[in-house]
């Protein structure tokens, strides 16, 4: 009996002590995490870098339309950008590649005839009007809402029109998935510039009328016209080139991968691309050209009227020594100058007004200095410019000065490659994407 009481007394004492400790703990969840995170961070440093480097370089996706080579740059069905510029039909009266030509090449792997491109342009123009409910929805959004947020919301709302979703719910064979996906994709591409132009009007030019779609114009021709720049033929040509060569950049970038991932669940192209747009809106992905432009304008302000290679070199070193990167330089894959940058530079070289622009002159001179500085700095794997080093500066020159809108234009272009992959994923019957995840402990066991 005494032993039982003694045992009970000790058990009570232990329980009471534990209870006291629990009651004495007043940590918040933030404070608890502040204790755990340093331990996990230390554990992470011991793991192999390539396993946890954002899957950079991990070969795990099928992407038919384009391949990004570190040395040669992007190729579309084995065609370089200069080859595409030579072979793909331009708009009537124009010289630059247009979205329709690139879309045809991405989807089919073949160079379209001029007649095929004109027919596709007319089809897109005929399907370009927004449903009334989408217009009202976009018009109801506050103009202070970021244009990319509005674009994603508008594309998601168009899901109401999805032919694939309706057909899937009624019951179709898997072999027919791609046909309805293609129909949705064409409709999405047709309406995307109209949606983007309406957002531009609401945010930056409220109350201004939006021109009707011209059935005789190509997709980008109508887009520029609806933005209110239809008289500027050089801007139209520039955006034709920009959107065509920016339309696909293999599948590993965040927006393309997101479209593929969401599409693998059999979400329709509208929902899949809406998700991709929100990946594109992230500062590490789609905001680069506006960051470059801000940096270039800041350099111009600091250097003043006398721009020399030495002045630029000093500004570059100040940027690097402050712990910042040089925006527009470096790339996750490329190890040479970006062919897209070179194409945009060549565009500038053919136009005296662009060559005379102080900001574009600064871009050109920065390219002559920055690679050597970055090589000397030694912390950049690719010391050469990417497409963002030039793209925003040309938009700024032509009067599209609203930085927040630049990613919307990127979003209009990137749809070309994303919808191409969605169509082929359904045609090839690709499975849902479901990689295996591991804890740090499980990774450590694999390493050992």
Catalytic residue among 331, 338, 357, 397, which?
331
Token pair recorded at residue 412:
């209009």
Is 388 annotated as catalytic? yes
Catalytic residue among 69, 146, 234, 285, which?
285
Number of other CB atoms surrounding residue 185 within 10 Å: 27
Task: Enumerate residues 6+ apart whose C-beta is below 8 A from 327.
Answer: 288, 291, 292, 295, 388, 389
Is 260 annotated as catalytic? no
Catalytic residue among 218, 268, 357, 388, which?
388
Query: What is the C-alpha separation between 408 and 192, in angstroms, rounded?
Result: 10
Is 285 annotated as catalytic? yes
Query: What is the C-alpha separation between 363 and 305, in angstroms, rounded?
Result: 15
97 DSSP β-pair partners? 90
Token pair recorded at residue 310:
């030495």
Number of other CB atoms surrounding residue 146 within 10 Å: 15
Confirm if 94 and 100 have CB atoms less than 8 A apart: no
79 DSSP β-pair partners? 76
Active-site residue numbers?
285, 331, 388
């Amino acid at each position: 009996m005494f032993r039982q009481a003694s045992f009970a007394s000790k058990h009570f004492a232990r329980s009471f002590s534990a209870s006291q400790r629990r009651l004495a703990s007043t940590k918040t969840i933030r404070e608890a995490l502040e204790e755990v995170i340093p331990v996990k961070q230390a554990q992470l440093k011991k793991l192999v870098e390539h396993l946890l480097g954002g899957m950079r370089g991990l070969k795990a996706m099928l992407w038919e339309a384009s391949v990004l080579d570190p040395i040669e740059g992007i190729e579309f069905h084995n065609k370089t950008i200069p080859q595409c510029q030579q072979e793909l039909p331009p708009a009537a009266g124009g010289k630059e590649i247009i979205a329709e030509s690139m879309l045809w090449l991405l989807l089919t792997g073949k160079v379209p005839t001029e007649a095929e491109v004109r027919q596709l342009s007319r089809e897109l123009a005929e399907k370009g009007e927004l449903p009334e409910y989408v217009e009202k929805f976009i018009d109801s959004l506050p103009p202070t809402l970021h244009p990319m947020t509005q674009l994603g919301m508008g594309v998601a709302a168009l899901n109401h029109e999805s032919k694939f979703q309706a057909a899937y719910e009624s019951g179709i064979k898997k072999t027919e998935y791609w046909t309805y996906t293609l129909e949705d994709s064409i409709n999405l591409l047709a309406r995307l510039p109209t949606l983007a132009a309406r957002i531009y009007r609401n945010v930056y030019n409220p109350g201004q009328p939006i021109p009707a779609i011209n059935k005789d114009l190509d997709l980008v021709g109508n887009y520029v016209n609806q933005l209110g720049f239809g008289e500027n033929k050089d801007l139209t040509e520039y955006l034709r080139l920009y959107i065509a060569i920016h339309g696909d950049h293999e599948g590993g970038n965040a927006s393309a991968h997101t479209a593929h991932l969401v599409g693998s669940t059999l979400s329709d192209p509208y929902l899949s691309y809406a998700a991709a747009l929100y990946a594109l809106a992230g500062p590490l992905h789609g905001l680069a050209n506006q960051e470059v432009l801000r940096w270039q304008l800041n350099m111009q302000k600091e250097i003043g009227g006398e721009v020399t290679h030495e002045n630029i070199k000093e500004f570059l070193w100040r940027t690097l020594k402050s712990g910042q990167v040089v925006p527009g330089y470096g790339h996750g894959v490329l190890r040479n100058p970006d062919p897209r940058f070179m194409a945009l530079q060549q565009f500038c070289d053919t136009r005296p007004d662009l060559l005379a622009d102080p900001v574009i002159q600064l871009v050109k001179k920065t390219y002559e200095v920055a690679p050597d500085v970055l090589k000397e700095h030694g912390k950049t794997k690719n010391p050469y410019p990417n497409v963002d080093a030039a793209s925003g500066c040309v938009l700024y020159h032509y009067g599209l000065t609203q930085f927040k809108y630049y990613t919307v234009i990127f979003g209009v272009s990137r749809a070309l490659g994303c919808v191409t992959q969605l169509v082929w994923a359904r045609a090839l019957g690709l499975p849902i994407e479901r990689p295996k995840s591991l804890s740090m402990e499980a990774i450590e066991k694999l390493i050992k």
